[in-house]
Amino acid sequence: MPPGTMLVIQIAAIVAVMYFLFIKPQAQARKKAEEMLAALKKGDEIMTAGGIVGKVKDIKDALITVESGTSTIVVHRTRIVRVGDTTAVTPGT
**How does residue 1 score in pLDDT terms, banded at 50, 70 and 90?**
confident
Digit-coded pLDDT (tens) for 37-89: 999 999 999 999 999 999 999 999 899 999 999 999 999 999 999 998 777 66
Digit-coded pLDDT (tens) for 65-74: 999 999 999 9
Domain covering 5-87 assigned CATH 2.30.30 in the classification: yes
Q: Give the separation between CA 37 and CA 52, rounded to whole angstroms.
A: 16
What ranges do the domains of the chain cover?
5-87
Element (H, E) at 53: strand 53-60
Whole-angstrom CA distances from 77 to 10, 41, 60 are 43, 12, 9
The closest of 4, 12, 21, 81 to 50, measured between CA atoms, is 81
